[in-house]
Amino acid sequence: MDTGCGAHAAAAARAAAVVARIEALGSEADRAGMARYGIDVERAAGVSIYELRRIAKELGRDHELALALWATGLHEARHLAGMVDDPALVDEDQMEDWVRAFDSWDLCDQTTSNLFDKTPLAYVKAREWCGREPEFEKRAGFATIAALAVQDKATGDEPFDEFLALIRREAGDGRNYVKKAVSWALRNIGKRDLALNAAAVTCAEQILADAEAGGEGARSARWVARDALCELRSDKVRRRLEARGR
């Protein structure tokens, strides 16, 4: 008896039932709202991320179900896949298959923060993706960094210091979904602790100096630096970091 095929068929059947549930919850009004925020709704039902989180909580962790949900191609089913997958069972091939399939900023951001940042390869793939050319693959690199900076409490500062060099290098990418993720990563690193706040401010100042020298990407780099400095130098951020003693 091929138990692998049986498990795959069972997961596919469960995924089909979940898709039917999602489609029943969907609405054209929500699809239109998603489209207004720049989300690709060609394969979307129109269900909120909050409702999807409720469904994910019911489903629990299930790697085979996650793979089957992703395979359906439905936008919301792919969100759920990232929510229910087991990070310990995610390998490099899966991460590469999924990152190449990103077609919306929300799917990119939710998958990186719900799943990819918790996998054993999170730091390796983040560094790699930051150098990619496709817009959403590159965004995935910086979105993963942004998630790690907030959610990985156990790792020291060294990897984040290294990420700052990537941020400086890529700050001139003028594509909207890239530059916003670059700023997001820079700001989240700078809000991690006092030492990284100082390092992130220095990085932003260096980016601004690079931009003032002119050249291709100067406008984007200037935006990234100013966007980050506005928050990282704020009294609110400083007070919070000082109160935490970090």
Each residue's pLDDT tens digit, 94-153: 999 999 999 999 999 999 999 999 999 999 999 999 999 999 999 999 999 999 999 999
Q: 1-15, 36-50, 142-156, 182-196: lowest mean pLDDT where? A: 1-15
pLDDT digits (tens, 9 = 90+) for 213-222: 888 899 999 9
Distance CA 134, CA 102 (A): 10
Would you say residue 6 has pLDDT above 80? Answer: no
In single-letter form, the type of residue at position 154 comes to A
Burial code of 93-118, b = ≥16 C-beta within 10 A, e = fewer? Answer: ebbeebbeebebbbbbbbbbbbbbbb
Q: Read off the pLDDT of each residue in 20-42 and give the average, rounded to a whole number.
A: 94
Which pLDDT value is given to residue 1?
43
- The model scores a pTM over 0.85: yes
